[in-house]
């Protein structure tokens, strides 16, 4: 444990003593000196009884600052909200940035949602209601309305005055957005330009007049790519008439990237990697649908093998290499699936040449299959002193890998084309499908060389 960690442990121990001794002022002084992330970690370590003390010691605004960090774990946050006095919870939500408050409120049932909104001021409630109606996973659902805007006709001095007034409430002040009399976005000016230009210069003469923006209905993945491509700290959100509605900051986009990465990995694994339930029955109920589906697909493989029972009984050596071929083909198919899903996640049209992707994966399958096939041909030929058997295994391996690569790249593309999430074409699904095709290829090739095994 390094020095910083030791210091943090001492602070947490001291906070616990203050909490147990009900020393409110000492606790507040020590707690508020921590970074909000450290505050949140301390809060998460407390019992419900200890958290009740926290609600008494801290104001809704002080609690809101910490909940900006906690809001990512909405499931737990809902539990914490219900521990609080309803008015305290409503006041805390009012003090949060609007987009973060909306993220939490979206997880509540309609009764609780209405309860908290009715306890807020009309202005705060109206601001939150504006964002609640946007479709999930769109720019509108993750934007915030706490931004700084100025008029193009104002001077730099006037713009700086507005910035100073709005800075405390704005989620970011590094970009100041310029609007016209109809509240349409016409430009953007950076904080650097504001503080380095002359007071009497007009905003219209200093601003960038070709601002990059996103539409309120755009998918959050497209927004993430815009911020990534242009290296923005924030991007403005507009409607069809180009009215400025809000902004999306880079910290919200990091959350989106994390969510999408978890979603893609969940698809590849065939399980929700984000499941937090400690109840094994709940966890099992979420995993069973995929497992049952794969079970029936696996039974298809077993049925296919049983059709070649006579072949296996006459040349039992063939059974030894079934798992070798199916396992290798499954691995190849999963690799191809990962490449295809990653390609589909890239919405840049110039990178979405799917025909090229499929051809590339088939050629990759030919090369890897050929090298793997030759390798296993030599190994089995020397090991079993039967190069005909090695040829059968090697040839089956070659074609099994080619077919697995084709399936791994083609299936997610087809699913994307018909409107399904390509990540649903999970690794276990492709692997099980590869087992089926590999067995079919293996035994059909082996059947032509039966005389060499008997």
How many CB atoms sit inside 10 A of residue 162's CB? 15
Looking at the structure, do residues 37 and 127 belong to the same domain, yes or no? yes
Stretch 231-249: mean pLDDT: 93
Looking at the structure, do residues 292 and 434 belong to the same domain, yes or no? yes
Looking at the structure, do residues 246 and 309 belong to the same domain, yes or no? no
How many CB atoms sit inside 10 A of residue 254's CB? 12
Among 8-17, 265-274, 315-324, which is the least confidently predicted range? 265-274
What is the CATH number for 437?
A: 1.10.357.20
Q: Is residue 322 part of a domain?
A: yes
Tell me the pLDDT tens digit for each residue of 182-204.
999 999 999 999 999 999 999 99
Q: Is residue 143 part of a domain?
A: no
What is the CATH number for 244?
A: 3.10.580.10
Q: Is residue 266 part of a domain?
A: no
Of 226, 257, 288, the residue that ends a domain is: 257
For helices 48-57 and 74-83, what crossing angle results, to 10°? 70
Structure tokens at 288: 């069973």
Residue 404 vs residue 107, higher pLDDT: 404
Rama region for 150: left / alpha / beta (φ>0; ψ in -120 to 50; rest): beta
Residue 177: per-residue pLDDT: 96
Residue-range definition of the domain harbouring residue 414: 280-452
Looking at the structure, do residues 16 and 110 belong to the same domain, yes or no? yes
Structure tokens at 447: 């059947």
Structure tokens at 290: 């995929």
Count how many domains the chain has.
Answer: 3
Residue 37 vs residue 119, higher pLDDT: 119
Structure tokens at 54: 């926290």
Looking at the structure, do residues 287 and 416 belong to the same domain, yes or no? yes
Residue 156: per-residue pLDDT: 94
Q: In terms of C-beta distances under 8 Å and separation of at least 24 residues, what long-range contacts does 193-201 make, across chains too?
A: 194/156, 194/159, 194/160, 194/163, 195/160, 197/156, 198/156, 199/155, 199/156, 199/157, 199/160, 200/155, 200/156, 200/157, 201/155, 201/156
Which of 158, 220, 210, 159 lies closest to 185, judged by CA?
Answer: 210
Which residues are CB-contacts of 338 (< 8 A; sequence separation ≥ 6)? 268, 427
Band (pLDDT 50/70/90 cuts) for residue 74 is: low
Stretch 27-39: mean pLDDT: 89
Stretch 43-63: mean pLDDT: 91
- For the question of whether the overall pTM of this predicted structure is more than 0.75, the answer is no
Looking at the structure, do residues 103 and 161 belong to the same domain, yes or no? no
Which residues are CB-contacts of 228 (< 8 A; sequence separation ≥ 6)? 253
Looking at the structure, do residues 383 and 410 belong to the same domain, yes or no? yes
- Give the up-direction half-sphere exposure of residue 296: CA atoms within 13 A in the CB hemisphere: 5
Residue 350: per-residue pLDDT: 44
Of 109, 133, 157, the residue that ends a domain is: 133
Looking at the structure, do residues 445 and 296 belong to the same domain, yes or no? yes
Tell me the pLDDT tens digit for each residue of 411-427.
888 877 777 666 655 66
Angle made by CA atoms 282, 258, 116, in degrees to the nearest 5? 70
Looking at the structure, do residues 291 and 438 belong to the same domain, yes or no? yes
Question: Position of tokens 């198919």?
Answer: 333
What CA–CA distance (Å, rounded) separates 96 from 246?
16
Residue 72: per-residue pLDDT: 57
Residue 149 pairs in a beta bridge with 177
Tell me the pLDDT tens digit for each residue of 124-147.
898 898 888 888 889 998 899 999
Phi, psi of 143 (to 5 degrees): -80, 160
């Amino acid at each position: 444990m390094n020095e910083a960690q030791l210091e943090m442990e001492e602070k947490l121990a001291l906070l616990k003593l203050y909490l147990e001794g009900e020393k409110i002022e000492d606790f507040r002084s020590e707690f508020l000196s921590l970074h909000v992330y450290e505050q949140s970690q301390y809060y998460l370590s407390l019992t419900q009884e200890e958290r009740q003390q926290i609600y008494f010691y801290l104001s809704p605004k002080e609690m809101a600052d910490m909940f900006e960090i906690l809001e990512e774990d909405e499931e737990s946050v809902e539990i914490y909200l219900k521990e609080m006095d309803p008015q305290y919870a409503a006041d805390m939500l009012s003090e949060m940035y609007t987009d973060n408050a909306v993220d939490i409120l979206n997880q509540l049932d309609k009764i609780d949602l209405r309860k908290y909104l009715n306890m807020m001021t009309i202005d705060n409630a109206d601001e939150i209601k504006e964002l609640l109606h946007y479709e999930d996973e769109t720019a509108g659902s993750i934007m915030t309305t706490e931004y700084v805007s100025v008029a193009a006709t104002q001077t730099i001095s006037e713009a700086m005055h507005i910035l100073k007034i709005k800075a405390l409430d704005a989620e970011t002040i590094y970009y100041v957005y310029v609007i016209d009399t109809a509240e349409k976005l016409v430009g953007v000016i950076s904080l650097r330009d504001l503080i380095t230009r002359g007071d009497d210069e007009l905003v219209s003469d200093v601003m960038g007049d070709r601002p990059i923006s996103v539409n309120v209905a755009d998918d959050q993945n497209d927004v993430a790519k815009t911020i990534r491509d242009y290296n923005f700290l924030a991007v403005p959100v507009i409607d069809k008439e180009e009215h400025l509605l809000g902004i999306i900051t880079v910290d919200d986009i990091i959350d989106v990237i994390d969510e999408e990465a978890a979603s893609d990995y969940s698809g590849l694994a065939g399980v929700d990697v984000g499941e937090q339930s400690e109840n094994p029955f709940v966890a099992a109920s979420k995993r069973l649908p995929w497992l049952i589906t794969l079970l029936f697909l696996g039974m298809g493989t077993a049925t296919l093998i049983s059709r070649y029972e006579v072949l296996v009984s006459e040349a039992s050596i063939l059974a030894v290499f079934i798992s070798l071929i199916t396992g290798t083909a499954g691995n190849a198919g999963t690799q191809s699936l990962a490449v295809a899903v990653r390609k589909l996640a890239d919405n840049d049209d110039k990178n979405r040449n799917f025909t090229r992707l499929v051809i590339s994966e088939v050629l990759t399958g030919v090369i890897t299959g050929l090298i793997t096939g030759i390798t296993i041909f030599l190994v089995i030929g020397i090991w079993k002193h039967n190069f005909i058997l090695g040829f059968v295994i090697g040839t089956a391996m070659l074609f099994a890998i080619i077919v697995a690569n084709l399936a791994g790249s083609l299936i997610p593309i087809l699913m994307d084309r018909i409107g399904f999430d390509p990540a649903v074409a999970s690794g276990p699904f492709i692997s099980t499908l590869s087992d089926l095709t590999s067995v079919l290829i293996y035994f059909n090739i082996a059947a032509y060389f039966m005389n060499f095994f008997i």
